Every structure is written in structure tokens, then in C-alpha cells.
Structure 1
Amino acid sequence: MSESSVTDVSPDLAGEPDPGPPELPRTSRQYWTEAAHTGALREVRLPRPGPGEVLIETLHSGISRGTESVVHRGEVPASITAIMQAPFQLGELPFPVSHGYLNVGVVRQGSQALLGQTVFTLAGHREHVVVPEADCHVLPEDCPTERALFAGIGEVGLNALWEAPVLAGDRVAVVGGGLIGLTTALFASKLPLERLQVIEVDADRRALIGSLGLEAVSPEKAATDNDVVLHSSASSAGLATALKIAGDDAVIVEQSWYGTGDQQVPLGADFHARRLRIVATQVGEVPGPRRMRRSRGQRLAAALRMLDPRFDTLISGRSTLQELPTVMADVAGSAPWTREQILHVIDHPLTAHHAFG
């Protein structure tokens, strides 16, 4: 099977499948990473919720480019596969696995209180997902369904702001104007900061950042007395810039995940001489200072509430679920058309292709 195959992979559906309630389809499609550089759709029986669970019919899912590219290429280090699994993934890393964590859909079975509600969950690219009722986050009334996809990225950004921490009156720089960096910057812009700059090498991306009401500068023009630098470029050059523009005794929060890739980090000059700190942040845990007072669910709910209309501008492309194997191969391989992408949305047509019972 080639990496761009869109042929459905159908497990054994011998015998008469359980049709479930008449308004629901008999089968459902799921995106799986079958092997390194190989993604495909599987058609399976419709999942059924158990006690305390709900069945969600997906409207949209979103591609988190950095993490999902690492998964697609098979670059998850064996020592951390358990730590880096998505909350509701199927299978086990490295593969076969159905990963992903940006999903908005409608509750079709389960809790009467949630039935018919549109919710965000940390589920992946599957037409139907089953998750615990407690892990469903009902969208605010003024939040469009596609904007809600940013909630999962928003909690990554919020986690980094808490990790530093970023405080009122701080001078803050965000290095890297991709999905994580821009989400983090938009959240940071809600704080009363003395200065907030987004450091971005691409001129076109800087223009987009400026349209969001943020200050975007090239690395050469960045201020160098920052209290906090949030790095998300996933590159050695970006991390070198972060070290250079951090003020004395400042903290650099590393938001990038490099997988099995090796990075060159210039620690010989700024790092030691100016007593800098590089802090890791990983969304699997709430940062220590707040861990006793905030659950992961509360953090995600806060991120969902913090989304505003500026996030709509960051939706840069869309494809159907049927196209996802090819799209994911392009994204993970940095095909030219993907380089301008920020959040790529996957549309899930509501059961249009299924036979009903």
C-alpha cells in the first residue's frame, strides 16, 4: 500500500452487522496510520457507547501538523509511546494507530443531557467516536463549530503560559508563527503585557500575523530583553533565536516536539553566561503550580472559552475524510502546498455514504 492510498481497509465484517438504532449507520470510517508513511481508512462496525459514555457523530476534525507528522513518519521514540498517546486513540504507538485529538461533533447516543449537543473532544479523525460523558465540552453559544477545533491547541498554549509563567507587565516573545505559536500568542494577547512579539522568518506569514492585531517581526528585528520566550518553531534555528532574545535570567518555554530528530542547541554563549532556563512543557499534565487546583478537563474548558473570532482566520484549508490519507502524507512530507497551512480542517459528511438499517 502506498503512503497516499485512499482505499478503505475493511476488518472482518462477516455476518449481519448490528444496525443499531434506525437513525444511525451500520458502519463507520476511521483514519489509521498503518505503518511509517502509510495512512488509510478503515470501515468498521459502528461503535456503541457503554455506561457513562456517549456516541458522537463527527462534523469536523483538525490536523495538528507537528504531532501528527511525527506519528505519520513513525518518529515517536519507543521510550515515550505511553506518554505521547492521544487521549482517545485506538491502537498503540507507533502503529497501527488511530491518533489525533481535535474533534467536533454531535452527541447521538448516551446522556440525555448531552443528546443533540455539539461538543469538542480530544478524539481523532473518525466518523464516530465513543468517549466518556465527562470528556465532552459543549460549545459556547457564540462559538462556530470549526473554531472549536482550536480548543485542543488552545490548551497547549495555555499550558505554556502557565508553565513560564507569563505575568502581567511581562515582555514576551513567541518564536514561530505556526499553529501552536499563533494560538499561544493570541492567548497571551489577552493579558496586560508590556510587549508581545511574534518572531517569524516568513514575510507573508508576518503579514497574516499583523492582520490578527499582533506585532510580527523577523529574528533580526526582535527585542532582546524578554522575560519569557515561548518557542514553537520545531527547529534548531528557532531555538537559537529564543536563546538570543531572552533577557538575563529569563525562561524559554519549549513547546516543540522533535520526536526522534536530533537538534543542535547552542548552549556555549547565552545559555550559561546569562543564566537562562529552558523549560519543557507537555500538555499531558497541568503545570506544577496549578496541578492541585486545575484538572486537565478544566484547563481544556478554559481554552475553549478563550477562543475568539481571530481564530477563524487561522483555518487555512479543508479536505474530506476520504482525502485524508493523501493529505496526511503531504503534510508529513512538507509538500509545497502545505507550507502555508495553519489549521487544516477535515470535513466529515454526516453519514452520507452509509446504508441505514
Structure 2
Amino acid sequence: MSESRVTGVSQHEQGATGLPSTSRQYWTEAAHTGALREVRLPQTGPGEVLIETLHSGISRGTESVVHRGEVPDNVTSIMQAPFQLGELPFPVSHGYLNVGVVRQGSEELLGRTVFTLAGHREHVVVPEADCHVLPEDCPSERAVFAGIGEVALNALWEAPVLAGDRVAVVGGGLIGLTTALFASKLPLQRLQVVEIDAERRELIRELGLEAVAPEDAAADNDAVLHSSASSAGLATALQLAGDDAVIVEQSWYGTGEQQIPLGADFHARRLRIVATQVGEVPGPRRMRRTRGQRLATALGMLDPRFDMLISGRSPLAELPSVMRDVASGAPWTRDQILHIIDHPLTENHAFG
């Protein structure tokens, strides 16, 4: 696909509004197969806005499961992205990390840079109420993390993690590091990020967090937040939990089957494994927080440390091959945390 540009947008035919008449969207067409579709520019309805995308982000765990066609049939409706097109398993245009500029709609939002739970599409149409204007001190790239921050905040509320707690985060990937960075804002007695990879532990220390190998991790934790998406990681989480403690499971395994040692001291020590899924606000907050309020809170909690988690970037034209590599665990992607997809507007947009 061509990456030439005209006045900050793709080189498509343009109408009187200055907007292109067509727009590109990334779709998972079949298992292990993604492609860009060129479609008519989406049209707004009452109470909706048209957003021209600056950046979208790859949520490695979820989007790999979707790309490989591993979404269980009985949860396709539950696991759909808020503004996906098509239906799981495929063809589907998934994704939920999008930052762009409002080009049509509410005068209050026109020209503003916003985060939405939309995917890898040059233009998206969403309700005005689902646009979250970026804080003045938040760069557009950092704001891509807002959707992951919502996942992290959900887990902290689910446990719940409280002042003075001893907390372990098992897994130093995108979800784990975002959760740990959010948890570090609380007055905890102890916070450790448990990670098997030595190089990743160095990055974690550069973030100002305590990083330890599994064999060096402290036990007797009040809460353990697990996101490694592996049986070994969940077994470690069980070992690190104190008596009567809670393990919050943040991983999504898709159709994969896991084996964990529940025959050891799981029952004797009265441990709890709690599922957390971002589609709902956790029970302890559900009556007092909407999903929109939760996302706005997460967006406001992003700080400059998140800039260090942007580990790669590619233009939209390369997304089909990038997604293939990410989902297959290609060598160059294994150390990736958040891979940013730059859309044509990125180069020429003047921020105001």
C-alpha cells in the first residue's frame, strides 16, 4: 500500500471537506491472516464524531489470540472490542488503543486530540461520550496506553490493593508493567515485579521499580497480580501469595489449556484466584464508577515513565506483516512491550 501523503492524510481522493473519500482499516480475515481494506470514509450519525487516527497500539496478548483465531466460541460476544467491526472470530477489525484528532462532530471536540477504544483504522466514528480528551501534559503516543491502564486499574480494584499492602506483579510485559507502574503510586509496604528475563529486569529497574527473578521474590504477599499468560507464571503467583491472599489473573489464554498446581497448599492456605476482565468495572466499584470514568482515571494516571515502554513502531501499511510476526513470536518481537502503529496523519499534523 502506498504511504505517500497529501496535506496530512492518505493520498486518497479528497472531497470538499478536505477529508479523503476513502479510508483504510486493518482486518483479521482468517486465522493467521490480516489485511488492510480500503473502504468509504465512515459517516457520522447524531451524537457521533469522526476521528482521524494519529496512532494505534498493538495489545500483544489479546490481539495475538484474535489473529491466531483462538477466541473460544462461547465468549466471542463477551470479548469483542468496544468499537470493533465484524464479528469474532473473523473477519473482524479488532483493537482498542487509538489516539486521533476529531475532524467532524461536536464543536467542543473539533480539532481536539482524543483517546478512544477503537482499533487500527485511519478513521473511526464513535459517540462523543466515548472520546477522552488528552490532558495538556500528555503526548499523543503516551495516551495510547490509556486502554492498558484501564486493564491495570481494573485489577487493582479487583484485588483490591490497599495502602500498606505487600504486592507482587508476576510478568513484566505490557499489562504487568502498566499494573506495576499504577500500583507504585500507592503507599505500599512492598512492590516487586517478578520477571524471568534478566534484560527485562534491567528495564524494570530503570522505571524505578524493584525487579526480581522468581527464585528471589518475597512471599507472604497480600495480593499477587499475574499477567505472564503461562502456567509457570501462575504457579509462581500461587507460591508468592500469603495465607488468605488473592491472586488476580489478568492473562487471557484463549483456547489454550493451562495446568496449575492446585493440589499443593492452595486449599490449605485458603488462596483465591480472581478473574478480571475489562468489559466490566469490578464489583467493589461497579455501583459508583462507570467504564468511562474508569478510563478517564487511567488516562490521568499516565506519567513520563510510560514513554520508556514504547518499544517499536511501524507505519499502518506494514501492520499485516507486523501483526503476523507479533502473533507468531518472531525473534524481533519477543522483547516488544508496546508497538505503535503510525497513521498517515502523524507526520503532518500540527498539534495545537
Instruction: Tell me, yes or no, whether TM beats 0.5.
Output: yes
- Secondary structure, counterpart of 2:305 in structure 1: helix
Provide, for residues 209-267 of structure 1, a one-character-per-residue CA deviation record: whole Å limited to 9, x for no partner: 00000000000000011000000000000000000010111000000000000000110
Mapped to 2, the partners of 1:193 and 1:18 lie a distance apart of: 56
Q: Is residue 279 from structure 1 mapped to residue 274 from structure 2 by the alignment? A: yes
Correspondence for 1:127: 122
Deviation >4 Å, runs of 4+ = 17-20
Matched-pair contact (CA < 8 Å) for 2:13–2:20: no
| 5+ long unaligned stretches in structure 1 | 1-5, 8-16
Mapped contact 1:25–1:351 kept (Cα < 8 A): no
Q: Counterpart of 1:331?
A: 326
Q: Does 1:138 align with 2:127?
A: no
> Where does residue 240 of structure 1 map in the other structure?
235
Match of 2:226 in 1: 231
Q: Which letter maps to 1:135?
A: D
**What is the DSSP-based 3-state SS (H/G/I as helix, E as strand, rest coil) of the residue aligned with 1:146?**
helix
**Matched residue, 1:102:** 97
TM-superposition CA deviations, 1:134-192 (whole Å, max 9, x none): 00000000000000000000000000000000000000000000000000000000000
Equivalences for 1:157-172 in 2 at 5 Å? 157-172=152-167
State the alpha-carbon separation in 2 of the partners of residues 18 and 84 from structure 1.
36
| CA–CA distance in structure 2, aligned partners of residues 266 and 22 of structure 1 | 61
Q: Secondary structure at the match of 2:229?
A: coil
Contact residue 25 and residue 93 of structure 2 kept, 8 A: yes
State whether residues 230 and 255 of structure 1, in contact with CA within 8 Å, keep that contact through their aligned partners in structure 2: yes
Match of 1:44 among 39, 42, 51: 39
| Residue of structure 2 equivalent to 1:117 | 112
Tell me the residue number matched to 2:54: 59
Amino acid at match of 1:123: A
Q: Partner amino acid for 1:157?
A: A
| Cα deviation digits, residues 69-125 of structure 1 (max 9, x gap) | 000000000000000000000000000000000000000000000000000000000
Matched letter for residue 36 of structure 1: A
Question: Structure 1 residues 270, 115: CA separation in 2 closer, same or farther (over 3 Å shift)?
Answer: same
Consecutive unaligned residues of structure 2, counting only runs of 5 or more, are 3-11
Aligned residues: 340
Name the TM-score, length of structure 2 as normaliser. Answer: 0.95
Structure-2 separation of matches of 1:285 and 1:255 = 13
| Alignment partner of 1:300 is 2:295 | yes
Residue in structure 2 matching 1:349, options 340, 344, 351: 344
> Residue 219 of structure 1 corresponds to which residue in structure 2?
214
Report how far residue 19 of structure 1 moved.
5.7
Q: Report which stretch shifted further, 318-327 or 264-273.
A: 264-273
Distance in 2 between residues matched to 1:74 and 1:344, nearest whole Å: 21
Identity of aligned residues (%): 85
* CA deviation profile, 1:297-325 (whole Å, cap 9, x unmatched): 00000000000000000000000000000
Alignment-mate amino acid for residue 344 of structure 2: P
SS for the counterpart of 2:144 is helix
Of the candidates 316, 320, 334, which is equivalent to residue 321 of structure 1?
316
